[in-house]
Structure 1
Amino acid sequence: MPSTLLLVHGGLADDMDADRFWTRPGITGGLRRDGRTVLVPDRLREPPDWSAEAAHLASFLPGQPVVVVAGSNGCSAAVRLALDYPRQVDRLLLAWPATAGDAAVDARAASVPRALLRGETLRGVADADLATLALPVGVLPSVPDNPFHQRRTVDALLRLVPGCTELPGCPEPPRPGFESHVDDLLASIARFAGR
């Protein structure tokens, strides 16, 4: 039986939600057509920190471990989920991980609580914590990269996370041009999730 997938959408203090990030671009439907159980919750609208995001996501988890597929800033929430609830996350796919520590990018998020912007490679997570992840982790870069999803973030994750593997990249949803990459993304997620 295929693994249950938990999809964690991107966005940071904006109007992004699971429907706009995963469903309308065809990702949710494609995974379900593949016979997978897909959980697609919305993230917290105004979390005080990433641990609150992780606790919110944990409330949607079933009784067995899941494969977590996270996009953009959702990668911070997903890593926090894997660190805080390690028995409930079987695999972790970090797609288009958002870059932390870029002053120009952070300046655009002036209304976001500082606790959500802090971090080293990923917001809300220390690099030392990334090095403790003891589960299969994949990283999928944004192609082409952009100021919010920089290649340096992917390279750092590949160095820091034990056994981390890189999957073929593509633009992130809902960016223009993503629609021509849906099938390739679905195939990458299926291969990573296995079963």
Structure 2
Amino acid sequence: MLVLVHGGLWDDPMDAERFWGRTGVVAGLRAEGLAVSAPDRRMRAGSWQAEAAHLAAGLPAGPVVLVGGSNGCSVAVRLALAVPERVRGLVLAWPATACDPELNQRVPAEAAGLLAGGVLRGVADQELAGLRLPVAVLPSVPENPVHRRWTADALLGLVPGAVELPGCPEPPHPDFRAAGLVAVLAGVSRSR
């Protein structure tokens, strides 16, 4: 089972349907014969842990592969840390760049607590280095100010055994094409 965790931050009008549904990812994965869940995150939750707890309550039975997209990577990692027995693999797709003062200025003051962390918002680098499950990183190609290449490289260097997947633009970017991502995620799901 693949559980897709969409991007967005605080008051971004993003949900699972816009990120994974309308872009064709959910339909493409189901056409490949894969079981897929794409729940909505609890936006304005106040912490990444609260978002992870919200998703944990609705996790399907059995071990899952979590696919975090953009800021959804922070939630996916927090979820994997909270319920490691329920997660058999983790894909960090288009990880959002943290520690960028210019980007951080765009975040509303009430969401400032979400900016703390290391390479990923809401996750200490030591926690990333302590992950003991298969992890794959899918960079944004081409990179953009929110999804920098150095973020993917830092994750690949921090997480033991992490592998790089072929990159692509993130949804709902106009250049995003679901077919390539579907093929990559289907391969990951079948190998885990």
TM-score, with length taken from structure 1: 0.95
- What secondary structure sits across from 1:133 in the alignment? coil
Give how far 1:37 is off. Answer: 1.3
- 1:145 maps to a residue whose letter is E
- 1:1-195 equivalences in 2 (<5 Å): 4-13=1-10, 14-179=12-177, 182-194=178-190
Instruction: Give the distance between the partners of 2:175 and 2:96, measured in 1 at CA.
Output: 19
- What secondary structure sits across from 1:178 in the alignment? coil
Instruction: Give the distance between the partners of 2:107 and 2:93, measured in 1 at CA.
Output: 21
- 1:103 maps to a residue whose letter is P
Instruction: Give the distance between the partners of 2:113 and 2:166, measured in 1 at CA.
Output: 31
Deviations 1:145-185 (A, max 9, x none): 01110111001000000000000000000011113xx2111
**Count of matched residue positions in the alignment of Structure 1 and Structure 2:** 190
Give how far 1:110 is off. Answer: 2.6
Instruction: Give the distance between the partners of 2:108 and 2:179, measured in 1 at CA.
Output: 36
Give how far 1:111 is off. Answer: 4.1
Instruction: Give the distance between the partners of 1:112 and 1:86, measured in 2 at CA.
Output: 30
The Cα RMSD (Å) is: 1.0
- What secondary structure sits across from 2:170 in the alignment? coil
Q: Could you tell me whether the CA contact under 8 Å between 1:142 and 1:149 is conserved in 2?
A: yes
Shift of the 9–112 alpha-carbon distance from structure 1 to 2, 3 Å rule, reads farther
Instruction: Give the distance between the partners of 1:79 and 1:12, measured in 2 at CA.
Output: 15
Deviations 1:14-53 (A, max 9, x none): 1000000000000000011111111111000211111101
Q: Runs of 4 or more off by more than 6 Å in structure 1?
A: none
Structure 2: tracts of 5 or more residues without a match? none
TM-score, with length taken from structure 2: 0.96
Q: Could you tell me whether the CA contact under 8 Å between 2:34 and 2:186 is conserved in 1?
A: no
Instruction: Give the distance between the partners of 1:143 and 1:175, measured in 2 at CA.
Output: 11
Instruction: Give the distance between the partners of 1:112 and 1:41, measured in 2 at CA.
Output: 24
